[in-house]
A and B are shown apart, each in its own frame.
Chain A
Amino acid sequence: MHFKKDFDFVHVSKYFYMISIVLTIVGVICLSVFGLNFGVDFKAGSNVDVSLSKSLTISDINPIIEEIGVAEGTSITPGENRVNIRFNEVLTEDHDKQLKEAILKLDSTASFEVNTVDTQMAKELARNAIYAVLLSCIGIIIYVSIRFEWRFALAAILALVHDAFLVITVFSIFQLEVELIFITAVLTIIGYSINDTIVIFDRIRENLRFAKLKTDEDLVVVVNKSVNQTIKRSLYTALTVFIAAFFLFMFGGESIKMFSLAMVIGLLFGAYSSIFIASPFWLLLKGKQKNTKVGKAS
């Protein structure tokens, strides 16, 4: 695959802006209406994952939980040879023991994973997660501003916030569980998305050195040329990382399923935004700068 003729990315970007704006509005609506389905890490309580040699149903598990006396607000999600029980209350050691004993009676090969998070801890984890995301963004802005210029930094941040937000939106729409590891996924997506954007920006910067910029049209040519020169690398790298994330999602351990899914979605948005959002947005900012210069000169 080799593009004989340069594809006009700048020209089509306005359609993609529209798509992204619509998706963002959908995201804002979804988040305010449905919110996110927080797991124990952020909501406190206990999460019990049981791996079994047979499939248990809700009616198998319910009597056990009622007997222990922690049934209120508990949700049971049975799966093939496994069952997930989510308690709104923090499971005490005694409850934990009783629950395990009761399930072991039904299936002696059962293996458990229990996560318990105390309310105060949950708040702290959530706060740290927000700090981490903000701090990453600040770090990136500083680095990109030093190495490039603030317009690149702004465009890069816009693209990565866009990616992170859309992944959160997808999790809100489908009410997928958001655990601590999800934040790791969001941060990794940010890291990947910026990586992807930087490669294109590097090329724009390089091409700018040799370009004679007289009109806005010249800038458009530089951006289009740069994206075209790096498009194959963008696609190939997105593909290799996608392969890794996809197989982790399909076959990887249960507790990183949601993480891998977030990665898969984030990668796709990351590749998309680097090409269609970040560079054209930089052009928009740069174009404004040129116009004001021209305006002052005349």
Chain B
Amino acid sequence: MEKSLFSFIWKFSAKQQIFILLVTVLSYPVSYVLLELPKLIVNDAVQGDDFPRDVLGFEFDQISYLLLLCVGFLGLVVLSNGLKLYINVYKGRLGERMLRRLRFELFQRVLRFRLPHFRKVSSGEIIPMITSEVEDVGGFIGEAFALPAYQGGMLVVQLGFIFMQDPLLGLAAISSYPVQGYVIPKLQRKVILLSRRRVKNVRLIADKVGESISGVPEIHANDAAAWHSADLSDRLYENFKIRYEIFNRKYFIKFLNNFMNQLTPFFFYLIGGYLVIEGNLSIGALLAVIAAYKDLAGPWKELLAYYQLVADVDVKYQTVVENFDPADIYPVERLTADESVELTGDLEMSGVSFSGGAAGQEVTDINLKVPEGAAFAIVGPDGSGRSEVLQLAAGLVSPASGTVKIGTRDLDKLTASTLGREIAYVGGAVHIWTGTIRDNLYYGLRHRPLEQLEREGTALRDYKRRLAEAAETKNPTYDLAAVWDDFSAAGVENMQGLDARALDLLKAVSLESDIYRLGLQSRFDPAMNDVFAGRILAVRRKLAARIAGDPEIAGLVELWDISKFNASASLAENLFFAVPSDPEISMENVPELPEVRAFLKETGLDGKLREIGLKIAETMVELFANVSGDSGLLGNYSFITQDDLPEFDRITRVARSEQQRPGLTQADQDRLIALAFKLVPARHRLGVMDDAMKEAVVAARATFHKKVVATGDSFVAIDPELYLPPLTIEDNLLFGRPRVDRRDARQRIDAVIRTIVEETGLREPIVFAGFDYHVGVSGSRLSAGQRRRLALVRALLKNAKLTILDDIATGVGEEDQALRVTLQEILKGRTFLFGAPNAAAASEFQRKLVLEQGRMSQDGDEHA
């Protein structure tokens, strides 16, 4: 990359910079005439004589001449400000474009780093470099040439004026410049070095914070919060020290500048005064020079500020760029090339050595040949070089010496588009992308956009603009909204085929039942697929019929019935007979909703609910007051938490006190109602719900439906004929609640649901619904095993020529064994490398290679 900021600016924006300069120069005469015109208006039009005047062959009397000049003045004002506006927008846009180009270039360089480089750099450092650190650079780029040109020009004009008055005074005016020009840069250098240190320190802080966030479970599990706090606090102190020193120096420079600027008038008064006394200069000229000097301060200050800014921005640029310029970076074509060659032939490593930079990460003199279509096991414990050999075979790392070839192709010379499509690799540390299961499954097929999106009208215009802007900044022009899934690579025709294929593979690696469960637990929007919603409702009816027909099951569940109280559901569900449309709204917030508040007030239920909440709170306080917080007894009841106890203790005391005032606040009352709402009568047998109250609750449902559900969209009524989007698919299937007072009711009902789902063929659609399950940040909502299997399916979907699995399903358990058999079956006829730490799993393979301490110890050709 360009080592200095100015060569970067010049390389990519020379044309634009020259254009800005031209427009700047163009504004000089306009500004000059704008200064000249008022003089003309006063001297010539207002006070002048011998009218009419002749302008361009037209005759003007005094008034119309004045009008002409004034209109001209107005026109020039508009023109001058218009020019300024134009050039400012132009500069801003140029800066933004250059910034976009710079950021993209940096990001692309990150993608071009060789894998071992990532042992030295972390995301916590890279992110601020690409985001905040280069921000100022963009703002500066537009000004880079225009500002010195403009202010420099002004300076020259004004200095010229002073010299014209008296050369000696002129010399006095610039007497401080050499000092400022020499001393200030020296001081400035120190500040620059300091800001460099500061930038690096801030980067480190970002890194520490990022690391702490991703390692938070470890911090808590090891009680290392104090250590991390101390660590960060240390860094912050370092930052403080640097900043403090920068302040000191910066303000000293400022002081020096101001002093120098004041020193010059001293010379003026002394020299000028002497000249005046001697009669060699008029007082008027002296005053004019001093006035001109005042004007001089402006541009000079601007130029100094510009100089400081250049130093600052240039340092930032260099401090950033040097991090993105490792010597062994991949050429850009490796990343951007689109043509992919077919990799046919045997995989061959000859004399391959590689070092990851630490013990146990190196291999020496590896010679191996894997015939096309063979399945090989590479055996070796961690640190034996097994992973390195597999990564070499995948083209993920490059050998230090020797060659890795498939057929006649040297992997090191191939582009990512070939390697990524022809080779599938799943290592021990899989990465799951934040997104849905579907995104992760089809990730291996999304190489380039395949089918362009049809656009019309404004959408097309917007798209064209986006393309033009991308071309302007050397960003890729790929359309993110296009279809990216490469169906043909997966060997299918369309999306349905791909889904079916994915389903097969999920079954093969026994991940399908997990996804099915996730599907049951997920919500889906019936607007997207009303056929599916209809089928769920059909199953709901079937399930209801089965429950009604079988007293055994009927006793396990309480179905929703608008005319009956459901003791296994919360009081809130019983009262509203509806659920909040936003599943994020919890019981704590419900009493605060204005429509709920109005409804409770109108039906007079608020008082009763408060009373119930109060009774619950009293019982809770009484039961748990003497229980120590760490016993965890209360923890099992999400009803109320240990932390809330003191709060409810206070509320009950206030509520029961004889004094009327100050009484309970609105928030207290809401808390009590929220507590009552959470009551599940069959579970929390507190005896606070009598039959009269139950009847009142059931009776209020109709009012709630009429007043709240029908008039707004914050609640969805529980209706046997409707799919309820806020509930999970499972809750929608079972239109009711498993009874909390029957043993294992949940599990037994789940089994019934499972059977009916199988019978009605709904299992598959539910699995597909599970495809849209959001896996959380980096797949944090999946278990380690699920993540690994998901990555495995992702790799298998690619149908790559060469499949490499490292440390996947290497256990001796039945499940892993079955998976290995399945994998061999699926990958039959394709080259397959299977890395395993132990020989047991490898014995099922055609051939195995054993690695020991980075060397091939046995090229075993024995058949296991």
A binds B: no
List residues of chain A with CB under 8 Å of any chain B CB.
none
